[in-house]
Amino acid sequence: MKNITIIGTGYVGLVTGVGLSEFGNKVICADIDNDKILKLKAGEIPIYEPGLDEIIKRNVQNNRLLFTSDISSSIKNSEVIIIAVGTPQSDSGEADMQYVYSVVNEIKENLNGYKVICTKSTVPIGTGKKITNILKNNFKENSDFNYVSNPEFLREGSAVKDFLWPDRIIIGTSSLIAYEVMCDVYRPLYINKSPINHTSVETAEMIKYASNSFLALKISYINEIANLCELVGADVHDVAIAMGKDGRISEKFLHPGPGFGGSCFPKDLESLSSISDEHGVQMDTLTAAITANKKQKKQMCNKLENLVTSGLKDKEIAVLGLSFKANTDDVRESSSIDMINFILSKGGYVRAYDPIANNSMSNLFPNISYFQNVYEAVDKAQALIVMTEWNEFRSLDLNRIRKIMSGKFILDTRNILNMKELSSLGFVYDNIGRLKI
Q: Same domain for 132 and 235?
A: no
Q: Same domain for 224 and 140?
A: no
Per-residue pLDDT, 436: 87
DSSP, residue by residue, 70-122: -HHHHHHT-SEEEE-----B-TTSSB--HHHHHHHHHHHHH--SEEEEEE-S-
pLDDT at residue 382 above 90? Answer: yes
pLDDT at residue 141 above 60? Answer: no
Show the 3-state SS of 146-160.
EEEECCCCCCCCCHH
**Least confident interval from 8-22, 97-111, 125-139, 342-356:** 125-139
138 domain residue, yes or no: yes
Q: Same domain for 154 and 269?
A: no
pLDDT band at 94 (very low <50, low <70, confident <90, very high): confident
Phi, psi at 418, each rounded to 5°: -75, 110
Q: Same domain for 272 and 358?
A: no
Q: Same domain for 342 and 416?
A: yes
Per-residue pLDDT, 136: 87
Question: Is 264 noted as a catalytic residue in this protein?
Answer: yes
Count structural domains, the chain: 3
Per-residue pLDDT, 392: 96
What are the distances in angstroms from CA 193 to CA 165, 198, 237? Answer: 11, 14, 36
Q: Same domain for 113 and 21?
A: yes
% pLDDT > 70, the chain: 97
229 domain residue, yes or no: yes
165 domain residue, yes or no: yes
Q: Same domain for 20 and 146?
A: yes
172 domain residue, yes or no: yes
Per-residue pLDDT, 95: 87
pLDDT at residue 190 above 80? Answer: no
Look at residues 198, 230, 264 and tell me which one is the last residue of a structural domain: 198
pLDDT band at 425 (very low <50, low <70, confident <90, very high): very high
pLDDT band at 191 (very low <50, low <70, confident <90, very high): low
pLDDT at residue 187 above 60? Answer: yes
pLDDT at residue 288 above 70? Answer: yes
pLDDT band at 138 (very low <50, low <70, confident <90, very high): low
409 domain residue, yes or no: yes
Q: Same domain for 278 and 388?
A: no
DSSP, residue by residue, 339-355: HHHHHHHTT-EEEEE-T
Q: Tell me the pLDDT tens digit for each residue of 208-246.
A: 999 999 999 999 999 999 999 999 999 999 999 999 999
Mean pLDDT of all residues in 412-428: 97
Give CA–CA dist 65/59, Å, rounded.
Answer: 5
Contact criterion met (CB below 8 Å) for 45 and 53: yes
407 domain residue, yes or no: yes
Mean pLDDT of all residues in 191-219: 91
Q: Tell me the pLDDT tens digit for each residue of 292-343.
A: 999 999 999 999 999 999 999 999 999 999 999 999 999 999 999 999 999 9
pLDDT at residue 17 above 80? Answer: yes
Q: Same domain for 243 and 381?
A: no
Strand order in the sheet with 409-412: 369-370, 349-353, 316-320, 383-386, 409-412, 428-430
Contact criterion met (CB below 8 Å) for 202 and 174: no
Q: Same domain for 113 and 183?
A: yes
Look at residues 221, 256, 290 and tell me which one is the last residue of a structural domain: 290
What is the three-class DSSP state of 253?
Answer: coil
Domain that holds residue 353: 295-430
Q: Same domain for 148 and 243?
A: no
pLDDT at residue 89 above 90? Answer: no
- Which residue in the list 29, 118, 229, 264 is annotated as catalytic? 264
Give the CATH number of the domain where residue 418 resides: 3.40.50.720
Give CA–CA dist 104/136, Å, rounded.
Answer: 11
pLDDT band at 166 (very low <50, low <70, confident <90, very high): very high
Instruction: Quote the mean pLDDT of the chain.
Output: 94
Look at residues 257, 290, 323 and tell me which one is the last residue of a structural domain: 290
203 domain residue, yes or no: no
Give the CATH number of the domain where residue 241 resides: 1.10.1040.10
Q: Same domain for 8 and 144?
A: yes
Which residues, other chains included, contact 301 with Cβ-Cβ below 8 Å and sequence gap of 6+? Answer: 338, 339, 342
CB atoms within 10 A of CB 392: 13
436 domain residue, yes or no: no
